[in-house]
Amino acid sequence: MLATPAPHQLRLARGLTAAAALLASLATSCGDLESGLNPVPPPRPEGWHVSGGALRAPDGRAVILRGVNLASAHKTAPYFGFHQLPDFQRVRDEWGMNSIRLLILWAAIEPSPGSYDEAYLDQVELRLDWARQAGLHVVLDMHQDVYGEGFGGDGAPRWTCDEAHYDAFEPISPWFLNYQNEHVIACFDNLWNSAELIGRYAAAWRRVAERFADHQAVVGFDVMNEPHWGSALLSFEEEKLQAFYERVVPTVRQAAPGWIAFLEPSARRNIGLPTGLTPFPFPNVVYSPHAYDIEAEQGKGFDETRRVALITKIAELQDDATMLGAALWIGEYGGTADSPGITAYMDAEYDGQGAVAAGSAYWAYDRDGGYGLLNSDGSEKTVLLDVVVRPYPTQVAGDPVSFSYAEDSGTFSFQWRPDPAIEAATEIAIPQRAYPDGYAVDCDGCQVERQPGRLLVWDVPAGDTATVAITR
């Protein structure tokens, strides 16, 4: 356990270390040129990128995005909710999170064919500005539920499907069973089989990219929320979704070449069927499935005997990401505060994500009696926030391996494989909610610097894997 060195001492030590590393690199490079052995590694990609199974910032550090979805109110006109700049700051400053999944709607972007609502995009830009001011990364999510507004859902504009289907539709409860309605299925089939409509969708995304390609808050784009298979359950990903992504992503990157593509499997992955996606012909992909417990989603609460199954499910999602050559980010997880077993449920979510060092976004930063982190009156749901707001690594100078947190003892542990070529610090979010009386750090001889809400770690001992432990 070490006392925190003064910042000027850290800067001096890092400067000397960097100079020594540069001299050693030059000497090694000369030797390599002569011997032809151990060639100099290629230069690091510019901008955000995915490599080594991780999302990485321009400086090469792995970034674990942990945040919230914002928000349910974005699904219906006027397409925005109560959130203002202080709400974005709360995500970062009080909850220790570093990102948001910001919902946008095709229906709001393109209310009539070929006509884009620039006033709506102005409001999106305002919220991106708030995110930047709050220090939050943003994944733009083109959301849909039950196809679109014609069925009382959200996503596609009415003009994308025959009005006769909307007129004949009779909604049922719970809402997700409406995916089985023949008219909803018909509209999805029409979308997936129409090159013109897919072109419209891609063009709407490109307009978003043209507006925000250079916005500092935006990391990337989630092409479609929970793509539904229509009538093609078993062949959908292989025959429709793969081609859809391979058309939309290059179109978006014509305007925003640096954006990371966050690509979801179809909704069939949510019910346990394997993904049919295969590696994509373009780089910088983050595999972005959702992770919910099926029984909890049906209102039965969370049975702790399902803990292992949930953690195993997330491990299998990591296997999917590895197969695709992608990083893993759980784009949605969550539960209701009054549901039986909610603490055990969210604890299992955290443990599953931590076991594979995955990022995630909680559903959602809402005020409601359901999944929202706040009650309808704006007060916090402490039972949820106490288990969702936890320490985690935000930026890693190397390859993250796993992290864990024990609620009873307050012990956080993080393992990673350091990369000595990265000079920047490994950063860990330390929410005051988890450590109201302070914390101790043990990292076996590393250098640390405490800052409000976070811990910086440098100069970890040599070895294949480094470990830092934080205790109350």
Per-residue pLDDT tens for 380-415?
999 999 999 999 999 999 999 999 999 999 999 999
Is the model's pLDDT at 306 over the cut of 90? yes
Contacting residues for 350 by C-beta, under 8 A, at least 6 apart: 387, 388, 390, 405
Sign of CA dihedral 352, 83, 98, 138: positive
d(CA 393, CA 20): 28
Share of the chain above pLDDT 70, in %: 91
When pLDDT is averaged across residues 458-468 and rounded to a whole number, the result is 91
Residue type, 386: D
Return the CATH class of domain 1-42+394-472.
Answer: mainly beta
* 297, 346 Cβ separation under 8 angstroms: no
Share of the chain above pLDDT 90, in %: 88
When pLDDT is averaged across residues 325-329 and rounded to a whole number, the result is 99
pLDDT score at 461: 83
Cα 137 to chain center, whole Å?
A: 10
pLDDT score at 444: 87
Is the model's pLDDT at 420 over the cut of 80? yes
When pLDDT is averaged across residues 61-79 and rounded to a whole number, the result is 98
At 411, give phi and psi (nearest 5°): -90, 120
> Using one digit for the tens of pLDDT, what is the confidence trace for 198-238?
999 999 999 999 999 999 999 999 999 999 999 999 999 99
Please, which residues bridge with residue 263 across strands? 287
d(CA 30, CA 98): 41
pLDDT band at 467 (very low <50, low <70, confident <90, very high): very high
d(CA 212, CA 205): 11
> What is the pTM assigned to this prediction?
0.91
pLDDT band at 39 (very low <50, low <70, confident <90, very high): low
Is the model's pLDDT at 186 over the cut of 70? yes
When pLDDT is averaged across residues 289-314 and rounded to a whole number, the result is 96
Fold of the 58-389 domain = TIM Barrel (3.20.20)
**Where are the chain's structural domains?**
1-42+394-472, 58-389
pLDDT score at 102: 99
pLDDT score at 462: 77
